Amino acid sequence: MLKVTDLYCGILEQVSFSMEYGTSTAVCGPSGSGKTTLLNAIVGNLDYQGSIAIAGQCIDALPIWQRPCRYLNQRLYLFPFLSIENNLRIAQYAAKQPQEAEKRRALLQLLEIDHLAKRYPAQISGGEQQRAALARALISEPRILLLDEPFSSLDWPVRQRLWQAMKEIQQRFSVTLLLVSHEPKEVAALAQRQLILSKGRLLP
């Protein structure tokens, strides 16, 4: 599904790994080891040397908007003048998907924010915006979802419920998940495998 070969980007040096379709992998390591740089290279935010392929297709020459992956971090990218539901609708439109209201409702319900569908981002809390951004990333059914500390601003009960929701989402949408996290409990809950980065290199 995802194959990274001899990747050089910023601090990263000769990073190579692969992921199978539908699996979940956590990228761990100390601050400054290159975890976020890795995700930004895969999504196309940073120039790099080496090769990245998704589903057998080399994506090195593809611009960000054509890469079959979505990236979510602690910075929220919701359209402020659209309701939460319309943020999801425009994501469906951009992905050339049918405007399935039931699909939007089910996803918002799974993330416990279906009651906020008609509200605007400024009218809901930061944690609720985080979940709305996650819903918008998922509604287009990306082949790979890249998550960079996405739940760190949420309290523990909500985080634990969302971990379970993410497992259901993975099964329902067959999403391959690459996760950056400093929280061991989150890694244990969501990841089947760990990659450890240290000073820009993958440890064996």
140: tokens are: 């287009």
Element (H, E) at 165: helix 156-173
**Whole-structure pTM value:** 0.88
182: tokens are: 């400093």
Alpha carbon distance 104, 77 (integer Å): 18
For the chain, domains (ranges, CATH) are: 1-68+145-204 (3.40.50.300), 75-141 (no CATH)
State residue 139 phi and psi, 5-degree precision: -65, -25
Alpha carbon distance 23, 4 (integer Å): 15
Q: Output the tens digit of pLDDT for each of the chain's 204 residues.
A: 999 999 999 999 999 999 999 999 999 999 999 999 999 999 999 999 999 999 999 999 999 988 999 998 877 679 999 999 999 999 998 888 888 999 999 999 988 899 999 999 999 988 889 889 989 988 988 889 999 987 877 888 888 888 888 888 888 778 899 999 989 999 999 999 999 999 999 998
Can you tell me whether residue 70 is helix, strand or coil?
A: strand
